[in-house]
């Protein structure tokens, strides 16, 4: 696999690219493409989260599950969709919480690149998916890779805020050294669970409070079109 990734991440993760599980991922994707399977996101965006947020700039991690599986949605950033694409329900609920938490106006774009450029790693646990088949690549090895990413952040950084929404994300808590980092947990923002503890979590104001305590710049949570 041609790993298109920002150089600081390549240096940190170079060992992972040689491990059997990663070679298995590459072989699996190659086989599916040979059968003309449609895979999201496009190849150039599979590692978009790593391109937009260099390793040494990571301040916040928001963990998603796997990419959107409908056309034109997945862009390699968890919860994010490109400009001009309808805002998915979970992201709508994230925006509602931002509105009640910090008074942010509801955005008209679902493109979260502005967050990524400020140090918010928008990491899906699984980086690819077959069209119209959610979780179709959940068992091809991606979670070994993203678990290694979380561990490396935990080991080599201090004061990172991890936002773990829903049971799946919260299972990753064991990979994080909580003597060095902050973990904020809530229900998933999906319409099925947002009223069970996501709404009212105030994770966005709490994140900026913690960043300030760490001596880091807070996040401007307003997405911007055209990034």
Residues tagged active-site: 66
Spatial contact of 207 and 188, defined as CB atoms under 8 Å apart: no
Cα Rg of the chain (Å, integer): 17
Spatial distance between the Cα atoms of 95 and 41, rounded to a whole number of angstroms:
23
b/e per residue, 159-195, with b = 16+ CB within 10 A? ebbbbbbbeebbebeebbeeeebbbbbbbbbbeebbe
Q: Tokens 């041609």 label which residue?
A: 2
48 class by beta-carbon count within 10 Å (0-12 exposed, 13-18 middle, 19+ buried): buried
Show the tokens assigned to 39. 């895979």
**Residues in contact with 191: Cβ distance below 8 Å, sequence separation at least 6, in sequence order:** 89, 90, 93
């Amino acid at each position: 696999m041609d790993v298109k990734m920002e150089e600081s991440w390549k240096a940190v993760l170079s060992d992972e690219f040689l491990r059997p599980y990663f070679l298995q991922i590459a072989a699996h994707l190659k086989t599916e493409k040979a059968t003309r399977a449609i895979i999201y996101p496009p190849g150039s965006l599979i590692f978009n989260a790593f391109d937009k947020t260099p390793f040494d700039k990571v301040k916040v991690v928001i963990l998603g599950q796997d990419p959107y599986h409908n056309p034109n949605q997945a862009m390699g950033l968890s919860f994010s969709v490109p400009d001009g694409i309808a805002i998915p329900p979970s992201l709508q609920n994230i925006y509602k919480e931002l509105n009640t938490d910090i008074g942010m106006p509801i955005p008209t774009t679902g493109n979260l690149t502005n967050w990524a450029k400020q140090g918010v790693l928008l990491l899906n646990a699984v980086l690819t998916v077959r069209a119209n088949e959610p979780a179709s690549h959940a068992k091809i090895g991606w979670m070994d890779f993203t678990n290694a990413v979380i561990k490396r952040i935990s080991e080599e950084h201090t004061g990172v805020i991890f936002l773990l929404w829903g049971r799946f994300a919260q299972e990753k808590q064991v990979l994080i050294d909580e003597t060095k980092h902050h973990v904020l947990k809530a229900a998933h923002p999906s319409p099925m669970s947002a009223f069970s503890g996501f709404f009212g979590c105030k994770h966005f104001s709490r994140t900026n409070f913690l960043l300030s305590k760490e001596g880091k710049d807070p996040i401007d949570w307003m997405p911007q079109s055209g990034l």
